[in-house]
Amino acid sequence: MTQTWAAPSATEPVRATVAVPGSKSITNRALLLAALSERGGTLTGALRSRDSLLMIEALRALGVPVDDSGDVVVVAAHPGPRGPARVDCGLAGTVMRFVPPAAAIADGDIGFDGDPRARERPMSTVLDALRALGADIDGDALPFTLHGKGGLPGGAVTIDASASSQFVSGLLLAGARYEAGLTVHHDGKPVPSLPHIDMTVQMLRTAGVTVDDSEPNTWRVEPGPIAAHDWVVEPDLSNATPFLAAAAVTGGSVTVPDWPAHTTQPGDVFGEIAAGMGCTVTRDAAGLTVHGPGRLQGIDVDLHDVGELTPTVAALAVLADGPSVLRGIAHLRGHETDRLAALATEINALGGGATETEDGLAIRPMPMHAGRWHAYDDHRMATAGAIVGLAVPGIEVDDIATTAKTLPDFPSMWARMLGNQR
């Protein structure tokens, strides 16, 4: 259900402390690893949002017992995933790319489908890889059916993961359960969002899996059991960036508590980006704090490894004093929507200046006016509209409900942040 939302404007510098829920990326990886461990596992601080609920329901469909009724999500001991089953991927990339490699060790027919836009997202890379490893699959995109045989031979496979790091992560997460383990070699343009692969490797090692990533563009996973683990989920640092951006836009100060000292989350880079645009950024026991400048500067930045931050950075760029160039993000054309086209369209429709380049956006700050900001069923497009609305009165986001993908209470969180103005 869509929900039009009048983005509130800031009447003075925003000063607030905003606690954000758990990381979607860590939550869904931990859920999958617990499902692949016959001893299960627990998650403290897990995200509760559409994407994580889709993952939980996908695992339940495969016979994995998941109890999310309390503060701690518990995956009980179980014999492993099984079919037949039907899996709803929604618009969650982590479900459509992570669950099929895990389901390949189940038996029976397992059907996968999702939202209409999900049927347009690239899937052939991971499906062709699974076929090369011994899986039987009908289809090259959603909807498709995996004919489970109760196991997968595994071995070595070469893929082009230049469209998404999720192709690599999805295969690696299940690789230890394949008979011969798994070796994934990437051959193509550089893999985007490498920190997400680092996250996958780190979490596999925490679960007792041997992973060799010493050779560039090659990852080797040894066969063997996946240990049960009690996961503590970090706050979602990418979801924190719109709130930190509010400080940058208004010359205020926003703190996100419990910011990890060491993390593989790409959102950790936002502090460097904000500093490059003139903000003062501090880390201490209180968390990470962004202090906005009197005048926000433009930036020339390569976002290849942190592409998910692009909508937030683009929203800041249109409100800066000078031009910006966002580079290395051609792969965003295959995300929840074509984010480059969507950002350029919405910025220009409100009077701003944005031009698509071969691998990104060139943004020229120009006076912007009231109007409708379209979300394109994309949670990060919706939050970008909220950021612009802080400085441009009269912005309406056409579908704020799409933020429930990773931030189920975004409008209330935004209102509470602004209510802390003083």
Return binding residues.
24-25, 29, 93, 121, 164-166, 193, 308, 335, 339, 380, 405
Q: How many CB atoms lie within 10 A of CB 252?
A: 21
Could you give the CA distance from residue 367 to residue 358 in angstroms, rounded to a whole number? 25
Return binding residues for phosphoenolpyruvate.
24, 93, 121, 166, 339, 380, 405
DSSP codes joined into one string, 203-238: HHHHTT--EE--STTEEEE--S----EEEEPPB-HH
Give, in order, the Cα–Cα distances in Å from 22 to each of 25, 130, 170, 265. 9, 30, 20, 12
Angle between helices 166-175 and 93-103 (to 10 degrees): 30
Could you give the CA distance from residue 319 to residue 295 in angstroms, rounded to a whole number? 9
Q: Which two tokens stand for residue 123?
A: 């899937």
Could you give the CA distance from residue 391 to residue 8 in angstroms, rounded to a whole number? 9
Q: Which of 345, 342, 340 is nearest to 357 (CA)?
A: 340
Q: Could you tell me how many residues make up the chain?
A: 422
Could you give the CA distance from residue 13 to residue 279 in angstroms, rounded to a whole number? 13
Angle ∠(243,249,251) on CA atoms, nearest 5: 100
Q: Which two tokens stand for residue 319?
A: 């409100």
List b or e across 170-201, with b for residues whose CB sees 16 or more CB atoms inside 10 angstroms.
bbbbbbbbbeebbbbbbeeeebbbbbbbbbbb
Give, in order, the Cα–Cα distances in Å from 355 to each of 276, 289, 309. 21, 31, 18
Instruction: Output phi, psi for 227, to 5 deg.
Output: -75, 150
Return binding residues for 3-phosphoshikimate.
24-25, 29, 164-166, 193, 308, 335
Q: Which two tokens stand for residue 335?
A: 């995300």
The one-letter amino acid at 54: L
Adjacent-strand bridge partners of 212: 220
Tokens 């560039």, residue located: 216
Could you give the CA distance from residue 311 to residue 339 in angstroms, rounded to a whole number? 8
Helices (H), 235-296: 237-250, 270-276
Could you give the CA distance from residue 308 to residue 135 in angstroms, rounded to a whole number? 31
Which residues are catalytic, by number? 308
Local structure of residue 190 (DSSP, 8 states): P
